[in-house]
Amino acid sequence: MDAKPYLVDDGTIPQAPDPSHRDAWLSRRKLLEAAGERSTPLGCRPGVLGRLFNMIYPVFSVALRACGLYRAGVRNALDLRLREIELEFADLPAAFDGYRILHMTDLHIDCLPGLADTVATLTRGVSVDACFITGDYQEGHGGPADPIIDHLKVALADIDARDGIFAILGNHDEGEFGLALERRMDLRLLINEKILIRRGSDRVLLAGTDDVSFFYSEGADAVLASTDGEFGIALVHSPEMAEAAAAGGYSLYLSGHTHGGQVSLPGGRPVVTRLIRNRELAAGLWSCGDMTGYTGPGVGVTAVPVRFFTRGEVTVLTLRGAR
């Protein structure tokens, strides 16, 4: 990502990634990817449930086709909306009153033909201050980066974000893929890293963690431990670190991972949240202590490419100071 004058390099929070930090992270990340079990905030998990779901999905897919519901589910999955939300903060720096954030999560951009074009159409002409993407770029896990990045280039082509695009990784994203994404697209990856965004003499701190549902490490806790006295926004793939971010003084926490349940009960109540903790934070707006959080329903889908009683979205969040 090109250097931007409104990103602050104050000597303690460098604007550019620290190569030694990135090298250490990548070494650890590759070990976690090879481990065959999930590293979570609650310790290592064997991933039995995931394997069980992988056996159930084909049966679910066949059942939907037999009932004639499969095509309706696919149509639902492509029926994305742009949702506008206004959020009020007593401690928002004055220059950020009206700051507009385009939040997208769980693009899984190769899950259905036409999804990238749908995202491009929805975001075209939408002017925001920054775009935050909270992980999960592909439907599967691993594999070549090129086809995914080609889809993402279509989806993100017309995003008009003054301060740029900032992205974190999800549980579907391998470390090498993330670095390729940053090299080849005009975005900044935040991997257990912080950055300051400036408006005049005011500034906010933006922190992003690595995925914590499969690739948790203490680096996520370290970055969430403090906002360094600034108004803090945390990007974390799942809401499972909400308490840590609230304790660290963050004001806003943006996440995804749950797809809003993807296939939910009538009324939108999620059945499968993919969370091992904080299941009550699986969808929509929530609060944790003094912190406001939003768990987006995602853009794309995984496993069986359908939605029922949930709707994918891109979200525009407008920050407001207390009135």
- Please calculate the CA angle 32-168-106 and round it to the nearest 5 degrees: 95
Minimum Å gap between C-beta 11 and Fe ion is 36
The nearer residue to Fe ion, 213 or 292, going by C-beta atoms, is 213
Minimum Å gap between C-beta 235 and Fe ion is 15
The nearer residue to Fe ion, 13 or 169, going by C-beta atoms, is 169
Distance CA 210, CA 13 (A): 18
Q: Which residues contact 124 (CB under 8 A, 6 or more apart)?
A: 158
The nearer residue to Fe ion, 106 or 182, going by C-beta atoms, is 106
Number of residues that bind Fe ion (CB under 5 A): 2
The nearer residue to Fe ion, 136 or 240, going by C-beta atoms, is 136
Residue 40 phi, psi dihedral angles, 5° rounding: -125, 170
Minimum Å gap between C-beta 242 and Fe ion is 18
Considering only residues 84-113, where is the footprint of Fe ion by CB under 5 A?
A: 106
The nearer residue to Fe ion, 190 or 204, going by C-beta atoms, is 190
The nearer residue to Fe ion, 106 or 193, going by C-beta atoms, is 106
Stretch that binds Fe ion, among 40-48, 95-103, 134-142, 149-157 (CB under 5 A): 134-142
Minimum Å gap between C-beta 300 and Fe ion is 7
Q: Of 109, 152, 151, 103, give the one whose Cα is nearest residue 128.
A: 103
Distance CA 123, CA 316 (A): 10
Distances (CA, A) of 55 to 37, 48, 231, 301, 310: 17, 11, 45, 17, 23
Stretch that binds Fe ion, among 64-72, 129-137, 185-193, 287-295 (CB under 5 A): 129-137
Distance CA 82, CA 101 (A): 12
Minimum Å gap between C-beta 40 and Fe ion is 16
Contact track, Fe ion, 10-49, x by CB under 5 A: ----------------------------------------
The nearer residue to Fe ion, 148 or 319, going by C-beta atoms, is 148
In this structure, the strands spanning 202-208 and 193-199 are antiparallel
Considering only residues 179-208, where is the footprint of Fe ion by CB under 5 A?
A: none
How many CB atoms within 10 Å of residue 260? Answer: 24
Minimum Å gap between C-beta 298 and Fe ion is 6
Query: Which pair of tokens denotes residue 113?
Result: 């033909």
Torsion from C-alpha of 130, 238, 120, 269, nearest 10 degrees: -120
Distance CA 100, CA 123 (A): 13
Exactly one of 110, 129, 136, 182 binds Fe ion (CB under 5 A); that residue is 136
Site residues for Fe ion per CB under 5 A: 106, 136
